[in-house]
Amino acid sequence: MNGSRILLVVSGGIAAYKAPELLRALRRAGHSVRCVMTEAARAFVAPLVLQTLSGSPVRSALLDTSEEGQIGHIELAEWAEQVLVAPATASFLARMANGLADDLPSTVLLATRAPVLVAPAMNLNMWEHPATRANLTTLRARGVEVVGPDEGELACGFEGPGRMSAPEAIVAHLALLLGPSSLAGERVVVTAGGTREPLDAVRVLGNRSSGKMGYALAAEAARRGATVRLISAPTSLPTPAGVEREDVETALEMRAAVHAAAADASIVLMCAAVADFRPANPVARKIKKEKLDSQDELDAPLDITLQRNPDILAELCRERSSSARFVVGFAAESHDLLAAARRKLARKGCDLLVANDISRRDAGFDSDDNAVLLLTPDGEVDALPLLPKPVLAARILDRVEKMRGARA
């Protein structure tokens, strides 16, 4: 999403203090940013800060001949490829909804043809007031996108929805709006994280998957315009913008969720580390250590009987009635990467296999980077170097799109 021209409109609420951070995040994401602010916003953040960070003059006055001479309000409105109002106060939303053009920001908003994203921030009661609800309904009906507000402690001392979304969340939402739409209309299912198989009420068998790779795939698919369902085993990661997330814990729960979601999906990315086995006789209560000691000789090994879990990926590939659904499998291998991956691709029957070497310390489980081999059923093998997982996710989806295009 490099190079979009973003007009940041800052209106006058306490959340305006986050505008410099937001502006920096927009610049880091590769955007050119110009900024206008209401008179009230100037009480919360110094224009010079925004001017320094954006590298452009920051304007507030509409009827200032010197400022109008440099960059006219119509020129600003035309320059913008995307308008972002952050924070958007209740008053500013009301003025937008009513088409007022009584200061520079509201005039630019009336004059622009660019899409508009607003990040509301206000007191809880103002947010819930019927007037604000009606104004948002009007704005949404006109195509204005809304991000947030988040829930939490508000500057006014209330607790609830009203906090402006975090700058990174706003930038991620923008990425959805500005990203390529190569997967628009597609339904994509992604699995992520490591399943946990209960042994008793407190103990589980698990693995080291952090979910980072799967979450990066879900975020990238959403950025490309897909409707994404992320079926997630336990992780500590936030849900990517625009992604619908379903939490599961065990392999059997993941199996049910995947089969339900895959029914109308055109792409399934099976990135989760699904446990191959589960304890055969999980106990509903906590197994007491004393009980074990009294039953067994002290220091004698304790046995757990394991039972095989169904292979969800193989089932999905078998049940495909047509080649319409594109299924991607992953393989986590600790040795003989290529040979093991080839065997896995043949056994599972997927359209593309992404194989990672989990013996590497800098890749695979729980790292921020990964290096993979992409294997196709016709014997092609492509090695992708060590890359950040979000970049790798984009490369994997590029390959999926290319293969589907060739198939079509």
Which residues contact ligand PMT by CB under 6 A?
Answer: 209-214, 251, 270-274, 276, 309, 311-313, 329-332, 344, 356, 358, 364-366
Nearer to ligand PMT, 70 or 334 (CB): 334
User: Does 149 sit behind a cis peptide bond, omega within 30 degrees of 0 on the bond before it?
Assistant: yes
- The candidate with the shortest Cα–Cα distance to 334, out of 364, 309, 312, 310, is 364
Give DSSP secondary structure letters for 257-271. HHHHHHTT-SEEEE-
Q: How far is the CB of 221 from ligand PMT (least distance, A)?
A: 15
Which residues make beta-bridge pairs with 308?
A: 277
Q: How far is the CB of 52 from ligand PMT (least distance, A)?
A: 38
19 in Cβ contact with 50 (< 8 Å): yes
Nearer to ligand PMT, 16 or 237 (CB): 237
Nearer to ligand PMT, 95 or 344 (CB): 344
178 in Cβ contact with 242 (< 8 Å): no
Which residues have a Cβ under 8 Å from the Cβ of 254 and sit 6 or more positions away? 191, 195, 231, 233, 248, 272, 274, 312
Helices then strands, each counted (H, E), the chain:
15, 19
Nearer to ligand PMT, 103 or 357 (CB): 357
Nearer to ligand PMT, 114 or 228 (CB): 228
Q: Residue by residue, what is the 3-state secondary structure of 174-229?
A: HHHHHCCCCCCCCEEEEEECECCEECCCCCEECCCCCCHHHHHHHHHHHHCCCEEE
156 noted as active-site residue: yes
Q: How far is the CB of 392 from ligand PMT (least distance, A)?
A: 9
Q: Phi then psi for 407, rounded to 5 degrees?
A: -65, -40
Helix (H, G, I), strand (E, B) or coil at 324: coil
Q: Of 35, 156, 271, 317, which residue is the catalytic one?
A: 156
Q: How far is the CB of 60 from ligand PMT (least distance, A)?
A: 46
The CA distance from 135 to 90, in Å, is 9
The CA distance from 18 to 214, in Å, is 30
Nearer to ligand PMT, 112 or 191 (CB): 191
Rg (CA), the chain: 26
| Local structure of residue 237 (DSSP, 8 states) | P
Q: How far is the CB of 250 from ligand PMT (least distance, A)?
A: 11
211 in Cβ contact with 247 (< 8 Å): no
337 in Cβ contact with 357 (< 8 Å): yes
Nearer to ligand PMT, 205 or 313 (CB): 313
Q: How far is the CB of 365 from ligand PMT (least distance, A)?
A: 4
309 in Cβ contact with 275 (< 8 Å): yes
Q: How far is the CB of 166 from ligand PMT (least distance, A)?
A: 22
Residue 70 backbone zone (phi > 0: left; psi -120 to 50: alpha; other: beta): alpha
190 in Cβ contact with 267 (< 8 Å): no
| Local structure of residue 299 (DSSP, 8 states) | T
Nearer to ligand PMT, 210 or 227 (CB): 210
Q: How far is the CB of 253 from ligand PMT (least distance, A)?
A: 12
Which positions are catalytic? 156
